[in-house]
Structure 1
Amino acid sequence: MTKNSIALRSVSAAAIVGLTLGMSPMALAQDVTPSTPVVVSTIDRAEGTLTIHKYGNPTSTGTPTGNIQDPAPDGTPLKDVVFTATEIELLDANGNVIKAGTNEWLAAAQGLTPATVQKWITDKKARLADSSTTMTTLASGDTDPVTLKIGAYLVKETTPAPGYTPAADFIAFLPMTNTTADDPRTKEVETATQGESWNYNVHAYPKNYSKTQPVKEVEDKGQHTSGTYKYDITTKVRQVEDGKKLSYYWIEDTLDAKNLDVKNAIISVTVDDEAVTKDVDYTLTKVDATGNFVVKFTAEGLKKLNNQNTVVVHVEAVKTTNAEVVPNEAREWEPSNPTNDMDFEGGTPGNPDPSTESYTAPPVFTYSSGVEFLKVDGNRKGLEGAEFKVFESAPGAKDCSALDVKTAKAIDLNGAEAGGDVFVSGQDGKVSITGLHVNDFANNGPVAEDDRTRYCLVETKAPKGKELLAEPIDFQLLASGETQNVTRDIVTRSFTKNTDGTVVENPPTVETKSYTVPVYKLASVKVGANDGEVINLDDTTPQLPLTGGAGIGVLAAIGAALVGAGAWFARRNSKKA
């Protein structure tokens, strides 16, 4: 045996161990290539090949062997996924590179995994080669075989397929020990059995799973000022490898602290429709001043997140102002490579790695507006003291003719009036009502015209000396076609990774975000000849016959006199006869 060859039986187990540690997120295989029989128990080549096969969302996976999987994984072939393979040069105590393919090299590789590479570099036990080899998948999901010299290679997925989680880093050893007795390479020697040959044509199957983006929903239909907005933040945990767990999982939101009652907001969490327990499965940190809150899963809670679970954070908050726009968005923090092996019996989940992308749900919006008009007399003079209530029609109503004010519930904008708010005209006759939910947009989506409600303005008390309005005035709050920019302060987080690998959270900062939104102008109503004016007629009661008092007494006296005179003339005529 030459100095540069390795006796397979004595070291093959080490190679397999190195593969297992470095290749946990993948499966490996070898090409079916007939060759001339040779002695295959020693490393006798200077080069080998590496081929990567990329499939998205596989439902089943094989054991890492280095062999071609037959049949191939049942996932979707992913094209244009880019990998880089960089040789890990192992160093001796003097800092010299150990020749790959030797007993010394293989012994030095014990314990080498993707997780330990950086520490080995820091400890001067290894270094990365100056150059890397790039590999790109074709439409089949496979890369072309790339020829590499014998050694250990750190393989990184640098450009994942859009919408997919990048595979975890792995280490590919060239060559690898064949692990099956019927492997084609074992046929080079008729007596070869499992573990007696080297595989120089290694195949890797790093797995990719598509990442479902978080979704924010709002239920706000029919909710005005003092009403309750209900938010659902729905996230989907990525597929986690068997035997692995997430090292952290956060869901963050910034409620509109200027317009919502953040202090008394109700927050609950479910996993796959099952309620989880605060301070057992997750912790909740809430800052009322900024509206920011973070749900962080504990070690106990992380045990429940491993197989594309659906997590929902439900929030209920009361609107406290008449603001026109209430935007809201949420964020999910999750490891991009869920391969953590921490002890979840006693370990503490860490902070998000600064290199890991967070996922922001598209914002949701709630819009409010109102109505404004002048209460005037026939001379367009403002009338003080007119009282109104606002009702909402059934969806699809064309007017307010079906409204029954005796049974309908008036809108309450301050949360204190059981019978609904009363809006009173001022000295100038002005009536301003704001904080009503718009009619053409609800639950963060447009409302079809046939499904829209209408508002019904009912005068419940007329000014002194004036007539009540005979019927409700209907109006709708619809987008004007114009847009405007609104800003909201959003809390943002950042993290720093220390040289020892620990991650610390930096102090949160506030980012002002701008949103382009539709303009909802105040509605205008009209009773009479002029827009924006509601005229009251003079009270017509004085024109009716009186029902008592001095006037009727006079009439009664005159009537009695006439009756008496008639009786006197009747008696006189009777005597003459």
Structure 2
Amino acid sequence: MFTTSNKLVRKGMALAAALGMSALGLVAIGAPGASAAPAIDSDKDFTISVEPQVGETGVTADGKSGKFEESKKLPSGTFKLEKGDYDVTTTTGYNAATTATVATFKAKNPAEEWTKDLETDGKTSFIVKPGLYRLTQTKAPSGFKAAIPSLILIPMTDPETGNWMNTVTVYPKNGSAGKITKKDITAKDQVVKPGAEMTFEIDSPIPTLTQTGDKFKTYKVTDTPSGPLKVDKANSQIKKVVIVDGADETALEATDYTVIESPYGIQLTSAGLAKLDGKQGKILRVTLTGKVAPKDDAVWTQEANNWSIKNKATYNYESEKGEGGGSETGDKDQPNIPMAKLKVNNKDNQTGINDKGAVFDIYACDSEATGDPSTKGDPVLTGLTAGQVSDEPLAAREGGLCVVQTKAPTGYEKGSSVVKVAFDKDTVKTAADANKAVEVDYQNTLKSSDILSKLPLTGGAGIALFLIVAAGLLGGAYYYARRNRVRA
């Protein structure tokens, strides 16, 4: 049986704990701190169970377990717990703890803090002594906002039993940070090869901040290339930065962002951040360039399956009230363009005639052409000898490549046709994965001897007849010239 005095003490402790929860934003009561020192054992161990959930909102937190939803489990995440400089075993310290906020929280000095990753079950926990703690999510999975920092008062009273809870369970909320995408917008008629410049477009979301009156504190967009692509200060430019609102675009000025070098990208200045505040839920678009490694770069000595042009994009943000997060492009939301070399095999029907010395130039195919394939622009490879693999790889393009013969094989007439090579991503990747070149046949079936045999007056009686006719023509010319001279 509890005495009346004991009951009052327990009610006081419950109220103080509830007030602490209110300061943490975990419960909604609005009275200021406690007035009596609770009987708290400073050496007792308590457990803080961190069980984050996907979503902007959830059930009202009361420190009790049993509200975790498996379907809303976060795939990964890292949390940091910091102990505050509050002695909750004293009246003064307890009152200070119950009125603290995330912004006014005073961490212990020297620091007492712990960092843990989520386990496979989507949860983690900390064993702590009595005190006030600040919980911060230091890493959220791509595509999610980090949970808003919160304060946890230990111990806390179970509102149903009036006793201290040995385990206090919290459910940080991870809202969506949106999806960042990146695409290659290099001119479609350009064949990409070593040394070529490419252009990319990154669309990153401008998240809607959860807390009323919150503003952006930082926002940056970066690009991380791999394979032969170079995106850095020496090889790249930021072409433009715009806020996309439906069909409308608002260009950011040069003073709205700074260019960062590693990884390459932009970080908004205070002026740029102010423009984001009024465009929450819209898109920030960054257009930038990169270059494919030059012909002599060491990357081309690697196997062909390492030649794919790939580059992911990332965006991250923080708000003034502690919200943050970002996302990174996935495999389906970023460029991945395989490259391979080319080999033209010269043939006469089924017979190989690579040893006859034919030479070819390679062009982009005119994607607008109908009927027979035709070339577009200047050649991208010149002087490619039959049967030899090209010195330079070329990037896959849906329009294909076109082969033109510039020197006939010995004993054959020069080919007049343009031969199209399938050079799409699947074809190029299949060749690159096998560390081979994409191959195409160019047919020369018309031999020079066949043409010469059809010419008249070639040898024997033909030559004699030619000389007789020629003599007649010369005699006629002499007669007319003499007659004209006499008449003159």
Q: Note if contact 1:246-1:339 (Cα within 8 Å) is conserved in structure 2.
A: yes
Q: Which residue of 2 aligns with 1:232?
A: 201
Name the CA shift for 1:115/1:279 in 2 (closer, same or farther; >3 Å). farther
Q: Report deviation, 1:277.
A: 1.9
Superposition map of 1:7-406 within 5 A: 23=24, 26-28=25-27, 55-58=53-56, 77-78=72-73, 88=84, 90=86, 98=87, 100=89, 102-103=91-92, 105-107=94-96, 113=102, 116-118=105-107, 120-122=108-110, 152-155=132-135, 164-173=144-153, 206-212=172-178, 214-219=180-185, 223-225=190-192, 229-237=198-206, 240-242=209-211, 243-254=213-224, 263=235, 265=237, 267-273=239-245, 274-285=249-260, 293-305=264-276, 307=280, 309-317=282-290, 321=294, 325-332=307-314, 334=316, 338-341=318-321, 359=328, 362=331, 364-373=336-345, 382-383=356-357, 388=361, 390=363, 392=365, 402-403=371-372
Summarize deviations over 1:270-323 as a string: whole Å, max 9, x none.
334534424322112459xxxx62211112222344645533322244658566
Between the aligned partners of 2:411 and 2:120, the Cα distance in structure 1 is 85
More helix per residue: 2
Q: Note if contact 1:15-1:106 (Cα within 8 Å) is conserved in structure 2.
A: no
Q: Note if contact 1:232-1:312 (Cα within 8 Å) is conserved in structure 2.
A: yes
Structure 1 spans left out of the alignment, 5+ residues: 31-39, 91-97, 178-183, 186-197, 343-352, 415-420, 443-451, 484-516, 529-533, 560-577
Name the CA shift for 1:392/1:50 in 2 (closer, same or farther; >3 Å). closer
Q: Which residue of 2 aligns with 1:507?
A: none
Q: Note if contact 1:87-1:151 (Cα within 8 Å) is conserved in structure 2.
A: yes
Aligned amino acid, residue 330 of structure 1? K
Name the CA shift for 1:552/1:360 in 2 (closer, same or farther; >3 Å). same
CA RMSD of aligned residues (A): 6.2
Q: Note if contact 2:258-2:269 (Cα within 8 Å) is conserved in structure 1.
A: yes
Q: Note if contact 1:328-1:365 (Cα within 8 Å) is conserved in structure 2.
A: yes
Secondary structure in 2 matching 1:519 = coil
* 2:448 paired residue among 537, 544, 547: 537
Q: Report deviation, 1:158.
A: 8.8
Q: Report deviation, 1:53.
A: 7.9
Name the CA shift for 1:294/1:168 in 2 (closer, same or farther; >3 Å). same
Between the aligned partners of 1:42 and 1:27, the Cα distance in structure 2 is 22
Q: TM-score scaled to structure 1, two decimals?
A: 0.51
Between the aligned partners of 2:102 and 2:455, the Cα distance in structure 1 is 101
Secondary structure in 2 matching 1:303 = helix
Between the aligned partners of 2:454 and 2:417, the Cα distance in structure 1 is 22
Q: Report deviation, 1:521.
A: 0.9
Q: Note if contact 2:347-2:442 (Cα within 8 Å) is conserved in structure 1.
A: no
Q: Report deviation, 1:393.
A: 6.5
Q: Note if contact 1:84-1:132 (Cα within 8 Å) is conserved in structure 2.
A: yes
Name the CA shift for 1:199/1:334 in 2 (closer, same or farther; >3 Å). farther
Secondary structure in 2 matching 1:117 = coil
Q: Which has the larger radius of gyration?
A: 1
Q: Note if contact 1:233-1:330 (Cα within 8 Å) is conserved in structure 2.
A: no
Between the aligned partners of 2:51 and 2:321, the Cα distance in structure 1 is 25
Name the CA shift for 1:393/1:148 in 2 (closer, same or farther; >3 Å). closer
Between the aligned partners of 1:539 and 1:238, the Cα distance in structure 2 is 73
Q: Report deviation, 1:367.
A: 1.5
**Between Structure 1 and Structure 2, how many residues are aligned?**
417
Superposition map of 1:551-570 within 5 A: 554-555=468-469
Summarize deviations over 1:532-555 as a string: whole Å, max 9, x none.
xx88534725742369x9955724
Q: TM-score scaled to structure 2, two decimals?
A: 0.58
Structure 2 spans left out of the alignment, 5+ residues: 474-488
Summarize deviations over 1:355-385 as a string: whole Å, max 9, x none.
x99957557334142234569999986447x
